[in-house]
Homo-oligomer: A and B are copies of this chain.
C-alpha cells in the first residue's frame, strides 16, 4: 500500500490529499499541519477582520474529523515536521501539544508549507502583527476588541489594502504606509491612481513613498520623522517561501528562493513534490522561475501532484499570474506582466489605455472602466493587462487572462464574440475595443503618445490640440494646448500648423482618434494622446497627500 505524507493542510496540501484519495482509495495518506486548523479560508481572513464574514466558523471549511469521514485522511494538526531523511524516506515529527517526537516513513512526500509574511528588521517590529492564518486573525481581532483605535498597515499590496479597508470597517483610524509611489504593485502607477483616491474616500490615510523607521509603543515613526498613531501595527510587506524544511533536506532551491520543481511539481528528489507558495512557478513569458503566491495555483498544483502520484500523465502549465482585489467600491485586476516589469527587463512593448463604460451607457448603472493592454510590437501577442473600475472588472481580466493563455494577439480581441445585452456590456465590448485600438496602431492607421511622453513631445516642438468641447476645455486641460473641438476641426484646419508635429487629446482617447485620422489625412503629422486626459491626469497628477 502506497503511503503519502503531505506537509501543510491548507490549499495546495489539502487539494493534493483529497484528490489523491479519490484516485487511490487504498493509499495511506497522512496530512501534517503545524497550526491548529486545516483547509481554512485563507483569502477570507481580511474580511473576517472587518466583520464582512461575521462568523469565525465560516473560515473553517473542513476539520480533521470531516476529512477523515469523507476522505479517510489521517489529518494531524499541531504536528510539526522537524526534518526529512530523504535516504530513509522518513520525516521526523513533533506533536506540539504533547511534545512527543516520532518518525513516519513515506513513499511520496508532498511539501505545501506556504509562505511566511516578511517582517522588517526594525526597532520595535516585534509588536507588529501579520496575517497568515486564523490565529493571526484572532490576534488582530483581539486587539480591536481590546479597544485599539488606530492601526498602521505597512505595505500597500493586496493584503495590506484589504486589511486597511476592513480595519476601517471596524472604525479604526487606519494609515497605510507604502514604500513605492503607488499602491498595488501589480498595477502601473497611472492605473493604481484611482485606487489611492478610493482608499482616501474610504477614510484610509495613505502614505506613499514612505518608509517605516521604527515601531514605538503606541505609534510608528516614518523615515521623514512623521509619527503616526498605531495601537495596532500590521506588516503586509510581502511573503517569503517557507523553505526551511526543503533547505535542511538539501532539496534544490530555485533562483527566486522557492523550492525548485519540474512540470510535475517534483523537487530535485523524485519522491518529494512541492506545491503552493513555497514552490517556484515557471513564468509564461520567459520560462524562468518566479514566485506567485496565489490560492488557485496552489489548488491546481496540489491536484496535479495527486495525479502524478497516481501515474496520470499530467504537466503543469507556465504561470500567467492573474490577480484581483476589491478596494472599497472599486476593483483592480491584472494579468501577465505590467509595464514596469517590461521596462525593467528591456522588453519592447506597445501600450494601450481605454476608458469605456462597464455596460451600455443608456442602461442604468454603467460605470467607467479603465483598461490597459501591453503587447509585443513584433507580433502583437498580449503580454499583460490591467483593469480598474466598479463592475465588470473581473470579467474583462478573465477574458484577457484566457486570451494570454491561448496566445491570442491583441487584434484577435476584436473578434471575440462576447455576450452582449445592455445590462452586461456593449455591442463593442471593452475587450473588443482593446483589439480595435491595437489593430489601428499595428496597422499604422494611428499613432499615439503616452502620458509620460507628452512633455518631451511638446519640448520637441509638437503642437498640442485639445479636441474636446468648450465646456470640457474650460473645466481644465493640459497647459499650453490649442482648443479646436473635433466637430469643428475640418472647418478650422488652417489653425493646425502643417510644419510641426501635432498631438491631439480628448477625454478618453476616442475623439482624439477621430481627430488624428482627420488631420493625418489632411497632411498633418499627428499622434493621439493614449487614454486621453483621463490617463494623463492619472499618471501625472500627484498622489493624494496628507
A residues apposed to B, CB below 8 Å: 11, 22-26, 41, 43-44, 47, 52-53, 58-59, 61, 69-72, 158, 162, 294-300, 303, 312, 317, 319-326, 331, 333, 335, 360, 362-364, 392, 394-395, 397-399, 401-403, 405-406, 408, 414-425, 427-429, 431-432, 436, 443, 445, 486-487, 490, 513-514, 517-518, 521-522
Contacts and interface: CB of A to CB of B under 8 A. Distances in A.
Contacts of A445: 22-23
User: Quick one: copies of this chain in the complex?
Assistant: 2
List of 8 A-B pairs having minimum Cβ-Cβ separation, nearest first: A25-B521, A406-B406, A324-B419, A395-B395, A69-B487, A295-B427, A22-B517, A394-B424
A70 B297 contact: no
A22 B513 contact: yes
A53 B423 CA distance: 11
A425 B22 contact: no
A144 B362 CA distance: 22
Contact of A53 (B44, B320, B364, B514): B364
B417 A321 contact: yes
B47 A363 contact: yes
Given A22-B517, A406-B406, A514-B22, A418 B398 contact: yes
Contacts of A158: 421
A420 B22 contact: no
B70 A486 contact: yes
A227 to B, nearest CB: 33
A427 B324 CA distance: 12
Given A296-B429, A363-B44, A401 B423 contact: no
A73 to B, nearest CB: 12
Which of A298, A324, A335 has its CB near the most chain B CB atoms (within 10 A)? A324
A14 to B, nearest CB: 11
A403 B401 contact: no
B364 A417 contact: no
Given A360-B43, A422-B44, A518 B398 contact: no
B297 A419 contact: no
A435 to B, nearest CB: 10
Contacts of A402: 399, 402-403, 406, 416, 418
A506 B322 CA distance: 33
A416 B517 CA distance: 38
B58 A362 contact: yes
Contacts of A403: 402, 406
Contacts of A415: 300, 317, 405
16 contacts: A22-B513, A23-B517, A24-B521, A43-B421, A43-B422, A52-B363, A59-B362, A300-B428, A325-B421, A326-B424, A333-B419, A394-B395, A394-B419, A394-B424, A398-B419, A401-B419
Contacts of A423: 326
A384 to B, nearest CB: 13
Given A25-B517, A363-B47, A398 B401 contact: no
B419 A72 contact: no
Contacts of A490: 72
Given A363-B47, A427-B43, A518 B321 contact: no
Contacts of A72: 490
Contacts of A297: 417
A333 B22 CA distance: 32
B419 A335 contact: yes
A319 B419 contact: no
A432 B41 contact: no
A325 B397 CA distance: 22
Nearest to A426: B296
Given A22-B513, A61-B362, A296-B429, 15 more contacts: A25-B521, A26-B521, A41-B360, A44-B360, A53-B364, A59-B362, A70-B486, A322-B417, A324-B424, A394-B419, A398-B399, A401-B417, A403-B406, A405-B416, A406-B406
B303 A436 contact: yes
A312 B362 CA distance: 33
A124 to B, nearest CB: 31
